[in-house]
Amino acid sequence: MSFIHPTAVIHPESEVAEGVEIGPYCVVGSRVRIESGCKLASHVVLQGPLTMGKDNFVDHFASLGGAPQHLTSKNNEDSLLKIGAGNIIREHVTLSRGTREGGGITSIGDHNLIMAMVHIGHDCKIGSHTIIASGTGIAGHVVLEDYVYLSGLVGISQRCHIGKLSYVVGFTGISRDIPPFTIAAGSDEDRRLVKIFGINSVGLQRRNYSPEVIGALRKAFKILFHSGMTIQEAISAVREQISGIPEVDHLTQFIENSECGIAPRGEESHSTQQAAWGPRVKVAD
């Protein structure tokens, strides 16, 4: 059974499924579709075209589906914000629709945690099971693969690609692609100069990746970032020495296909892992 607070404003051209809760002073605009199990806390604004899958929670003062924050866009432009299922979207989050030039769709996957005051710009493609911490700003056309973890106050420039199960330390500015399964952080001299600090072994352990896979990724990382070879030579060497590991294949393909360029390496240390994840944890066999 649905609950819609009497102060909420629901446009007659919207579609609200049974089992949706809409709190005080929410505004649901035209061409918005909300599936069952969703809950809007209060003072939430949804503008269409927007589709929202099942079981999402949207907290106070979030604004979803607004026009792209782009000089060439118009508010009535026929573009879309597509939100999957099971997401938690906290206070003051802003998600923009896509632009015609960028394909017209901003998409959010499933089971993401998007913390307070996050902005995700036009034409972004956000995967599933990501965690995006408070105050993070993501510019237009950015791709986040599954299980990415962005710490607080991270800033990502337009068109960057952040690989699967990578971890970005807080206060980092990103203007290059971050390979999958790695840890990235701003340098001590300038937080805007992002560097790669090795394989995200703790994150991989927590996702139950085997020691064999983690070891293969570490070996691949050393070849790619420490061998002194050109990037194409290093990729060829990884493919010759390590085969049959899909995660390694994904790492090399990501680097090979990068359009923004890959962030350079930093010096990996135990302290870097602790800064990212806290103390190391023992993972049961």
Residue among 23, 65, 109, 122 flagged as catalytic: 122
Kindly report the length of the chain.
Answer: 285
C-alpha pair distances (Å), 189 with each of 23, 101, 172, 178: 46, 37, 12, 19
Q: Is 122 a catalytic residue?
A: yes
C-alpha pair distances (Å), 233 with each of 30, 131, 230, 267: 54, 34, 5, 22
Beta bridge partners of 52: 34, 83
Measured torsion, CA atoms of residues 171, 64, 58, 10, in degrees rounded to the nearest 10: 160
Q: Which of 136, 35, 159, 153 minimizes the C-alpha distance to 86?
A: 35
* Amino acid (one-letter) located at 69: Q
Residue among 140, 186, 198, 266 flagged as catalytic: 140
Q: Is 190 a catalytic residue?
A: no
- Structural contact between residues 88 and 117, judged by C-beta atoms closer than 8 angstroms: no
Residue-by-residue DSSP string for 136-198:
-EE-TT-EE-TT-EE-TT-EE-TT-EE-TT-EE-TT-EE-SBB-TTEEEEE-SS-TTSEEEEE
Residue among 123, 127, 198, 203 flagged as catalytic: 123
Q: Which of 27, 48, 44 minimizes the C-alpha distance to 106?
A: 48
Interior angle at CA 69, CA 63 and CA 72, nearest 5? 145
What is the helix (H) or strand (E) element at residue 11, kind and residue range? none
C-alpha pair distances (Å), 160 with each of 16, 126, 179, 278: 35, 12, 11, 27
Q: Which residues are catalytic?
A: 122-123, 140
